Amino acid sequence: MSSIQIADQIFVLLKHWLVGRVPVSLQPVVGILITVIPIICVFPALFAITTILERKGLGRIQNRYGPNRTGPFGILQPLADGVKALTKEDIIPANADKVVHFFAPVVLVMLVFLAYAVLPMGRNMAAVDLDCGVLFFFAIGSGTEVAVFMAGWSSRNKYALLGAMRAIAQMISYEIPLILSAVAAIMIAGTLNLQQIVTQQAGYSGIFPHWYVFTPWGFAAFLLFIISATAESNRSPFDLPEGESEIIAGYYIEYSGFKFALFFLGEYLGMFSISAIAITLFLGGWAAPFSFLTWVPSWLWFFAKLVTMILCFIWVRGTLPRLRQDQLMNFAWKFMLPMALVVLTSAACWRYTEGWQRWAISFLVVIIPYSWLGHGMMSNRKLEQRKYRFAE
Amino acid sequence: MNLSFLIPAIILLVGAAAANTLRNLVHCVLALTLAFAGFALLYFGLGAEFLGLVQLLVYVGAVAILIAFTVLLTGGGTAGEQTVLSPRWLQGFLLAGAMFLLLGYGISKSRFTAHAATSVRSYPVSLIGDALITSYALPLEMLGVLLTVATIGGVVLAIREPRQASQSVKVDQ
């Protein structure tokens, strides 16, 4: 093994070495623990880094400093937030359904962590190599709706219930374009196994990789997937379920202390895992973006892509205003769903044509319905320059 | 009786029993969701990975939420009295028992028992996909038509006719 290969496989080799040190009867248990414990340590750590990045980034976008009191440049802020969450009083409303109220954050975090089981985080680095990994991910993801419902209903608060209803309606609506755009990539890869989807995108033309995002259908599917993923993880501009200015944090309004932190954690971990799926399906997984960079370890590329995606999410949150409920639903059912079907057709055209024609046909099949649909949606709407009225 | 069968079976039975004895309907829905998840685990244990995941996706992700919405919209989720169990829990159990006997009788009389599967095998998803597209293409298409009809029906029910709406506004004025 060359040193490059060792650097690439260092965690796999480390696991084999550690498992080899324990008695044979304990090896399966230790093997599972060694796989699971890093996942439940690394991603919450990434969550801590993301909170400070987000607060700093949003601060800069809004022309202010962001947190700068704890430690140099405020980098100890996540630690302070964690201590605050742990030491805060855990308040349960007198009328709340105590059992369901307690289990809602637990179920949410449990399901979110389960989804990490199938993510390929590097070459040979997935906790479980499931035959239908993509399906597993979406099946587990759909379970979080139940947790949201539990939180909203058990709080006995009308804002909580409203927020939960909004969240569930939004998640169900956007799940359809999310899965349909993933189906386009699955159709071309010909497998539901996430590892194999990554290997299907391996190889380079010149220095450029064969990622699905660099094809006409793949680019459209990637955009649809990212928009739906933003909605699925309830992030701005789709953060109506939380809507601080209208329903004061939505379904977790009645949660305080560490349970609130768990919801926060669940939301961010959900965003990370769905970004990881987007990376796997469209951005080549753990593959290097240029052929001359393949010596960099695969897991480093995975996390680099993940952090890039997170930064994009922060950027979008800082720059776009929140949608209205009817705009949200119209967008899902009248634009996202037809476009997802169009992208499926385009992917099918790509599959059965060759040479330059596949680029032309696939491109036209996406772009013509897109412009037609876009103009159709804007046709009976008058866009003028906004008139501002000031108090006199 | 190994653990991988026992644990899902217990989850399933506890969920199902709670679903027909609890007083609060929302609790019943949540218990039913637990039972659905138990079913999925049982399918995993039998090597039917795909079926288990579809069970999770459809029943836990969609059907449970649908029932929860129905319960809330019909006002069943309001706080009840102090008792945890429903006053009619015995009827619930009798009904479930009668259903169990009926199904058990049907299954014991059917031909499956003669050549029950002796070994647990895992089927790749591609086999199921091939079977659905080739030998079961017609049932699949018919299901698609059925779902389309249901969707159109839902849209027709939900659509508000503009003329009636404007008339009712006039009446209000």
Identify the residue whose tokens are 């100890």.
A76
Which residues in chain A have Cβ-Cβ distances shorter than 8 Å to B33? 146
Alpha carbon B55 to chain centroid, angstroms? 8
State the pLDDT at residue B170: 47
Among the four given CATH numbers 1.25.40.10, 3.40.640.10, 1.20.120.1200, 3.40.47.10, the one describing domain B3-123: 1.20.120.1200
A331 at interface of B, judged by CB pairs closer than 8 A: no
With tokens 């240029």, the residue in question is A290
Total count of residues recorded for chain A: 392
Q: Where are the alpha helices (DSSP H) in chain A?
A: 3-8, 10-20, 27-61, 77-87, 98-114, 133-154, 158-189, 194-200, 216-232, 244-247, 257-282, 298-319, 325-330, 337-351, 355-378
Among all residues of chain A, which has the CA nearest to that of B57?
A139
Strand segments (E) across chain A: 204-205, 208-209
More confident residue, A122 or B106: B106
Query: In this complex, which of B53, B61, B65 lies closest to A132 when CB atoms are compared?
Result: B53
Of all residues in chain B, the one with the smallest CA distance to A171 is B61
Q: Which amino acid is at A18?
A: L
Please judge whether A146 and B60 are an interchain contact, meaning their C-beta atoms are less than 8 angstroms apart. Answer: yes
User: Of A212, A217, A222, which is closest to residue A348 (Cα–Cα)?
Assistant: A217
Answering whether pTM is above 0.90, one says no
Q: Considering just the CA atoms, what is the radius of gyration of chain A in Å?
A: 23
Tokens of B109: 């009389």
Q: Which of B56, B67, B69 best probes binding to A when mutated, by most A CB atoms within 10 angstroms? A: B56
> Does the pLDDT value for residue B55 go beyond 80?
yes
Is A143's CB within 8 Å of B61's CB?
yes
**Contact at CB, A143 and B79, closer than 8 angstroms:** no
Q: Does residue B13 have a pLDDT over 50?
A: yes
What pLDDT is attached to residue B173? 41
Residue A40, both tokens = 């439940």
The pLDDT value recorded for residue A177 is 92
Inter-helix orientation angle B64-73/A158-189, to 10°: 150
- Domain positions in chain A are 75-373
Contact B72 A153 (CB under 8 A): yes
Using the beta-carbon criterion (under 8 Å), do B61 and A136 form an inter-chain contact?
no
Distance separating alpha carbons of residues B71 and A151, to the nearest angstrom: 16
Query: Quick one: pLDDT at residue B116?
Result: 52
CA angle B32, A110, B45 (to 5 degrees): 60
pLDDT tens per residue, range B107-160? 888 776 545 555 556 667 778 888 888 888 899 999 999 999 998 988 888 777
Whether B164 shows a pLDDT value over 80: the answer reads no
Q: What pLDDT was estimated at residue A392?
A: 63
Among residues A243, A252, A248, A227, the alpha carbon closest in space to that of A325 is found at A243
For residue B144, what pLDDT is reported? Answer: 92
- Rounded to 5 degrees, what are φ and ψ at A205? -105, 110
pLDDT above 70 for B172:
no
Q: Kindly list the averaged pLDDT for each block of 10 residues, start to end, along chain A of length 392.
A: 76 80 81 84 88 88 85 83 84 82 89 88 80 87 87 84 85 89 89 85 81 86 91 81 70 82 88 91 84 81 90 89 82 87 88 83 83 79 75 67
Report, in angstroms and rounded to the nearest whole number, the Rg of chain B calculated over CA atoms: 22
